[in-house]
Amino acid sequence: MSEFSDVVDFFIRVVNNLKDDSLNPSSPLEEIVLKSTERDMAYIDNRRDALKKYGFDFWESLMNDLGEMGLSQLLRHTKISNNLQYSKSEQFPDFMFKVRRTNENLTCGSLLELKDSTGRNIASFNSTLPTHFKNLDEIDIVNGGNLVSRISSIIDENYSAGDCHEYERRCFYLVRTHRGTPEKIRISIIDGSFFETVPKDHLIHQVFLQILSNHINSGQLEISPEKLSQVQEVLSNITDQTIIASSRIVNGASIRPRLRIMAEVHREGNPHSSHYPQISEGTFNFILLANAQSTMLIERLVSEIPELEIFTIKHLRNGEHIVFQFRFNPQTTLKFSRS
């Protein structure tokens, strides 16, 4: 079993829903996910709209198992209030799959963030840096609370506080561009490796070094070469986003400052940009770092989706990535074939 077979299953179900017109490429991304999950989500951030707009009751399986009274008692025990039960929590991530156990080892439990935009650029990341992996400890610190881990601990039957908190979960991003222009729409499930081309700890301290350099170059700061070298050495150790993102208590301050790092995707990190013409209009793509594990998926995916196109693209900053492409616009001329 692949360590991210949850997302592979999800990709297959989305394609099948597009093929039988249960979904269309312009459907809301939330609807695309909720109609393709088969109740394998451990966390949904917008539980309110899931129920009211799409008829998806996140708590339904527990309600069936425990009854209304039993579920209410469980939620009270874990301090999930009535307001939180069906709310839009504005936490990271948008969706989190349940973990699975294979020979006592954890697999799956992938994170899925949604990014929807009307142009070709990917919508900005406003709460956390897009990365290849994240664990629950990091998620809770970035969110400033443990709501995600508390809810997932209730839903996920394979949850065990120790190993699940430290377990490194794959991050995936469901990205759509040109929303509202049907003939130009591209949709992709993108592996976090496509965005994290520099390790996040190195990226963070480089940001602070650039800020320091800009102050020096603007004449706002004078510092000797010796002191500059010392400061640069200190800043090189500021690498932990979870520490940076924590709220701060400053003596005398009536606010608690909290640093949030936003991120905009460079064109070379956007598979829907002109740098990657193979990711064409009218397609739904599953983009993974090319390695032995992703290559092993070819046989299964071709058997499940015979019309799938498979090829590789050269990420300009992070090597080969394999693309599994479904063309939902059959009128578009096929330019690339399986290789």
Residues 273-292 have pLDDT tens digits of: 999 999 999 999 999 999 99
Residue 301 maps to a domain: yes
CB–CB of 114/267 below 8 Å? no
| H/E element, 113 | strand 111-116
Q: Is 178 helix (H, G, I), strand (E, B) or coil?
A: coil
Give pairs for 201-206: CB < 8 Å, separation 24+: 201/239, 201/240, 201/241, 202/239, 203/129, 204/238, 204/239, 204/240, 204/241, 204/244, 204/261, 205/235, 205/236, 205/237, 205/238, 205/239
Average pLDDT, the chain: 88
Q: Are residues 141 and 283 in the same domain?
A: yes
Question: Is position 61 within any domain?
Answer: no
326 has pLDDT over 70: yes
Cα distance between residue 22 and residue 29, in whole Å = 13
* 48-72: b (≥16 Cβ within 10 Å) or e: bbbbeebebebbeebeeeeeeeebe
The two tokens of residue 98 are: 């349940």
Residue 229 has pLDDT above 80, yes or no: yes
Torsion of CA 201, 207, 213, 216, to 10 degrees: -120
Residue 115 domain flag: yes
* Token reading at 232: 């640069």
In this prediction, residue 241 has a pLDDT band, given cuts at 50, 70 and 90, of low
What is the residue-wise DSSP string for 31-91? HHHHTT-TT-EEEESBHHHHHHTT---TTHHHHHHHHHHHHHHHHHHTT--HHHHTSB---
Given a cut of 90, is residue 299 above it in pLDDT?
yes
Number of domains in the chain: 2
Within a domain: residue 75? no
Q: Tokens for 239?
A: 């690498």
55 located within any domain: no
> Which pLDDT band, with edges at 50, 70 and 90, does 338 fall under?
very low
Residue 82 belongs to a domain: no
Q: Looking at the structure, do residues 227 and 297 belong to the same domain, yes or no?
A: no
DSSP assignment, residue 331?
T
Residues 138 and 188 in one domain: yes
Q: Tell me the residue range of the domain where 229 lies.
A: 202-244
Say whether both 93 and 239 belong to one domain: no
User: Which two three-digit tokens encode residue 68?
Assistant: 């209304």
The region of weakest confidence among 39-53, 120-134, 153-167, 278-292 is 153-167
Claim to verify: residue 93 and residue 223 sit in the same structural domain = no
What is the per-residue pLDDT for 270? 94
